[in-house]
Each structure stands twice: as structure tokens, then as C-alpha cells.
Amino acid sequence: MVAGLAVVSAGGLGLDLARFRFSWLNRQFLRWLAPLLKQNEGHRFTGATYLVIGALLAFLFYGPEVAVPAMLFLSLGDPAAALAGRRMPGPRVRGKSPGGTAAFVVVALVVVAALVGSGAIDYHWGLLVGALVAGLVELASVPPDDNLAVPLLAGAAMHFLGA
């Protein structure tokens, strides 16, 4: 897993650096992938690059027992937060809806229940804290990108709590 993530991380990082260096490559990249990108990703690393780097670091630092739940929190919770948050009126925190964060945390808790219920991992209360930390990190929009910050910070919480 780590070797594969290292290759994909290097590829994503290499592509992003190459497209910053060569404007024609960036134009083609944006032309083909614009529907999948956020507006500001034309001039910064993509969320996908941050995601694979975050996964690589989570597996290296914390091992699969922590990295798998952390990555599932992100990969399932983030879209849930986006879908719910766009539809909810009310206050915003750094452009994000607290309702979206609630959806993120609920999905992360369902991930914990599914992993523990299936026997894939043993229950530990640190998993619940990790789910909450993941949601709060998503709400806070910790720089440089949530796709890097969520697995690292939620993973750190679970790791240091003994999950």
C-alpha cells in the first residue's frame, strides 16, 4: 500500500509541478479536468494530490489500523459535508456550513460502526474522537488543504489515544 501510494503521490506532485512550470500543460489540464476541479486548483496543488500525499503519510506515520478509518472519514465524510452543507441555510464558518460538518461526523461515526461491526478493526473510544476531530478539521479548513489535514490530524488523535 505504501509503495503504491508513494508512486501515485510522486505522480500527482510531478504533474502539478510540471503544469505550474509549463502554462500550455496547465491549460490542457484545466481544459480536460475543469468539471472535477475547484476554481483555485488551476494555480495550486489539486485536492487529489493532497489526498494521496495525506494517505501516504497516514499509512507511514500511523499504520493501517489508523490510516484506513482516517481515509474513510475523509473520502466518505467530505462529500457528505459538501452535499449537506450546500443545501443548508444559516451561518457559515470559513465558507462552510456547521450542518455539513454534522453530516461529516455522522458519516465518520457510521464508518467506525461499519469497521468495528465487520470485525475489520477492534473498537476503541479513540476512533470516536478521531471521527469528531476529522469533522472539526474539515470545518476549520486547516491549511494547506483538508485532504491533507484530515487524515493527518484525525490520524494523530486516534494514534495518540491508542486506537
Give residue-wise pLDDT tens across range 10-35: 999 999 999 999 999 988 988 898 78
Confidence grade of residue 71 (pLDDT, cut at 50, 70, 90): very high
- The rounded distance, in Å, linking the Cα atoms of 68 and 76 is 12
CA distance 16 to 116: 37
pTM metric for this prediction: 0.88
Q: What is the CA radius of gyration of the chain?
A: 16
